[in-house]
Amino acid sequence: MLLGRATWKKTAITTRSLAPSDPNKHGFIEFYEMKYKIVNLLQTDVADHMGIPNEVKRELVDKAGSWKLFREHVEPYDGRVVVLPWKRGWARSSDLYFTLYLTVCYKNDYDGAVEQGLKNRKSAAEILQYGNFKEAFDDVEKASKEERNQFDAVPFDEAPSRGRIIGGGGGVRG
């Protein structure tokens, strides 16, 4: 199997499919190179822009920075349930962002948007600004805004009783 993009066939991998001679077509190499650039943006610049806390960004890399880590810490091959205690206390926006990151990295839900972006000669940052990506980022921003509003609504002297909330752009309390 070719990482979710195609079903396994005896002739699935050819030099033409890796790097086609037609400059208007994109092969596996260009596709995965673009996907790699998008993943790097999600780990750094986009996470900073979205107000994702450093603790969550660190977990993106430590727990899901590679296939091996992803399979070890998040979703094992054998289908066993994995407890994710390191996510305890995360705000909804941080959890949504982590889910988006995992989906982009290890599933094929956004592959069509990446292919369309390649076809339209878009950069990785431009690809993240349209289609399914925009909808997913809107969900994260909406959750972050709700968390900030909830955070601002609680008087400061009552804040320690609420416990620790990580993410949401509102800071850490408790």
* pTM, entire model: 0.72
- Measured distance CA(29)–CA(2) in Å, rounded: 12
Of all residues in the chain, the percent with pLDDT exceeding 90 is: 36
Q: Is 123 left (phi over 0), alpha (psi -120 to 50) or beta?
A: beta
How confident is the model at residue 76, as a pLDDT?
83
Comparing CA positions, the residue from 62, 146, 131 lying closest to residue 96 is 146
Higher pLDDT, 31 or 153: 31
pLDDT of residue 174 exceeding 80, the answer is no
CA dist list (Å): 2 to 10, 32, 71: 12, 11, 17
Please enumerate in sequence order all residues whose Cβ is within 8 A of that of 111, keeping only pairs 6 or more positions apart, or say none: 4, 5, 31, 35
pLDDT of residue 159 exceeding 60, the answer is no
Please enumerate in sequence order all residues whose Cβ is within 8 A of that of 168, keeping only pairs 6 or more positions apart, or say none: 51, 91, 92, 93, 94, 143, 144, 147, 148, 151
Comparing CA positions, the residue from 99, 18, 109 lying closest to residue 56 is 99
* Phi, psi angle pair for 66, to nearest 5°: -150, 165
How confident is the model at residue 173, as a pLDDT?
40
Return the DSSP state at 12. Answer: -
57-97 tens-digit pLDDT? 999 899 988 888 888 888 888 877 788 888 889 999 999 99
How confident is the model at residue 141, as a pLDDT?
92
Instruction: Burial-class residue 5 by CB neighbours within 10 Å (0-12, 13-18, 19+).
Output: middle
117-139 tens-digit pLDDT? 998 999 999 999 887 888 999 99
Higher pLDDT, 10 or 142: 142
The pair of three-digit structure tokens given for residue 118, joined into one six-digit string:
């390649």
pLDDT of residue 153 exceeding 90, the answer is no
